[in-house]
Structures are given as C-alpha cells and as structure tokens.
Amino acid sequence: MTAAGPTPPAAVPAETARPTDPASIPEQGTQARERKAYFRRLDDGRYAPNDIAGGVWAAKTVSGRILGGLVTHVLEQEQSAPGYRLARLTVDMFRAIPMAPLTVTTALVRAGGRIRVADAHLSHDGTLIGRATAVFLRPSTNAPGEIWRPDRGEWTAPEPGDPRLAAGTVNPRIEGLPMLAGERPDGPLGPTRGVQRGGMWVRELHPVVEGMPMTPLTRVGLVADMTSATTHRGTGGIQYINTDWSLNLVREPVGEFLGVLARDQHAVDGVSFGQATIHDAAGLLGTCTVTALANPGRADPTRFPR
C-alpha cells in the first residue's frame, strides 16, 4: 500500500482481523510447503505468512530475515524509480512479528535529482511492529584520487550444482555453503568448535510473495538479517538477538548466490554490534550492520520449518 505525499507515513490505521478469515490461521505441514512462498497477498492488500516463514526466537512468529525480504519487496515495488539504485535499507524490528496478516505501508519522503528516500511502516491489527527507510541514489562516476581500503582478499561465489552445496535438512529454506569446511549450513544456531570467523554463501529456495518473481534486491533483503547470526555465533551458539539491520549497497546484485562474511563484532553490558560484508558473483556488494541484545538460551532450532 502506498501513501501519497512527501511526508513519512502517519500512524497506521487500526485493522480488525475477522475471526472467520482463513488468512488469520497459519497453514501447517505440507500444505504450506507446497505453496512455496513465504507470504501470499490478500485481497485487502495485507500479507499473510505461511508457516515456512517461522522464526527461531519464539513460537508462532515470523523470522526477521523473512520480514526483511517482504519489506524489500514492497519498497522495490512501490518506491523504486528508473535511474536510481537502492544504496541503503535500514529495518527496525521492535516487536515480535506474529504469524498473522501484516500491513506494509510506504510513503515517499524525498524525491530529488540524486537522492530518493522512502519510509515503510509494518503493522498487525493497528499495532506498529517495525519500520524501514530506503535510500535510492542516482549513480554517476567515481571521484578522482586514491582512498585507503583494506585488503579483502577473494571470496568466490559457488556455482549452481557445486557438490559442496546442501539444502538444509533442519532449515529447508536455503541452499548454503559455509566459509569453513565441516560447518553445517543447516545448523546455524549451534556452538562453533572454537572462536572463528563466520561466513556463508546462500541461495534462497523460496519466493517471498506468491506469484511474484524473486528479484536480485529481494534476495539481498533476505540475507541482510543473517549478519546477526554470522557475527554473533560463537562457542555458546547464538546468544544475541538483533533489533535492526542496516544494509549498504554500491551496485546492483549479480546472481542468485549471496555471501555474508563477518567483519567485526563487539559487546558491552549485553549490547552488541555486528558488521559483515555482503558479496555476490561479481565480488564485494556492500556491508550490513546490526545492533543486538544478549538473549541467551532463547533461540530454538526445532522451530525451523520442517
């Protein structure tokens, strides 16, 4: 849903879910699996999640990673414009995301010659559960001169059919290749064997919205939230939950495989940040940063859809 006008969206109007509305009841078992998309769009414009969209932090909630894909999809559909590229997308998640129909409302904040800014509000039954800001920039040419940058080495994307790839048996949503040999791409919540750098190549196996194609930007929106798990998984497993993520991109994504490689992490008094670089078949694509809170013992891998 697009809100007209140059100002951010106002308070989201209340909605009432009808008790007999089948979209308010999450599907179970193979029925949702056969649907293949994380969400289906209802006639009233809301997005109803299938149970394959579930998260690991609480029962009957949508994964923050999957929500990121939905937000990216809606902003790309409603607020992108020819000649501009998505350069930053920040998503704030300040309430649990229920496994129930969600409303996403967007508004154009600024339409300039070189910059375009849009906001999105996410709600359920009139309660705001998250928000996002997208910044689209008009590309030109690099400025003259040399600027310092670290030696990043090379991290090559896998090819389709690579024998090292595996679709997860615990998490059926992705095909993954860990940076370190011996790591299980389908068991990302467990403890590591030692203190080590996290990294994962991922190809998403499910579209975000039923009947809509998976775009390169939507794929990036789906992996952005993985920055938290990649930067915060350690010898105790996953013990931090992120409250947001902020993705910076310098070009259009290339290919279906996207890599998330831990760059930095630091925590004081239970408040942490994590930063990762984002890669694709053409090399470095951008960075993603998350803010996280200590949340020990709450992530449950049995909540992955089966």
The pTM is what? 0.83
CA atoms of 259 and 177, how far apart (whole Å): 9
* Stretch among 26-30, 44-48, 91-95 having the lowest mean pLDDT: 26-30
- Per-residue confidence at 9, pLDDT binned at 50, 70, 90? very low
pLDDT in tens, 209-230: 999 999 999 999 999 999 999 9
Share the mean pLDDT of the chain: 84
CA angle 183, 185, 187 (to 5 degrees): 85
Asked whether 139 and 126 are in contact (CB, 8 A), the reply is no
Q: Tell me the residue type at 65.
A: R
Residue of higher predicted confidence among 259 and 1: 259
pLDDT in tens, 54-80: 888 888 889 999 999 999 999 999 999
Helix (H, G, I), strand (E, B) or coil at 92: strand
Helix (H, G, I), strand (E, B) or coil at 88: strand
Residue of 237, 220, 226, 235 whose CA lies nearest to 290: 226
Q: What torsion, rounded to 10 degrees, do the Cα atoms 233, 235, 238, 240 define? A: -80
Q: In this structure, what are the phi and psi dihedrals at residue 264, rounded to the nearest 5 degrees?
A: -165, 155
CA atoms of 258 and 260, how far apart (whole Å): 7
Q: How many Cα atoms occupy the beta-carbon half-sphere of 192 within 13 Å?
A: 19
**Is the pLDDT reported for residue 11 higher than 50?**
no
In the chain, domain spans: 2-12+20-139+157-297
Please enumerate, as own/partner, the contacts of 261-267 that have beta carbons within 8 Å and a separation of 24 or more: 261/155, 261/179, 261/197, 261/198, 261/199, 261/230, 262/197, 262/198, 262/199, 262/230, 262/231, 263/231, 263/287, 264/231, 265/231, 265/232, 267/240, 267/292, 267/294
CA atoms of 170 and 305, how far apart (whole Å): 8
- Per-residue confidence at 33, pLDDT binned at 50, 70, 90? very low
DSSP assigned state of 24: G
| Residue 95 token pair | 């309430």
| pLDDT on residue 10 | 37
| Domain boundaries 2-12+20-139+157-297, corresponding CATH code | 2.40.160.210
Helical ranges in 110-247 per DSSP H = 216-224, 226-232
Asked whether 124 and 103 are in contact (CB, 8 A), the reply is yes
Residue of 220, 241, 231, 210 whose CA lies nearest to 93: 241
| pLDDT on residue 298 | 78
Pairing mode of beta strands 283-294, 240-242: antiparallel
Q: Tell me the residue type at 73.
A: H
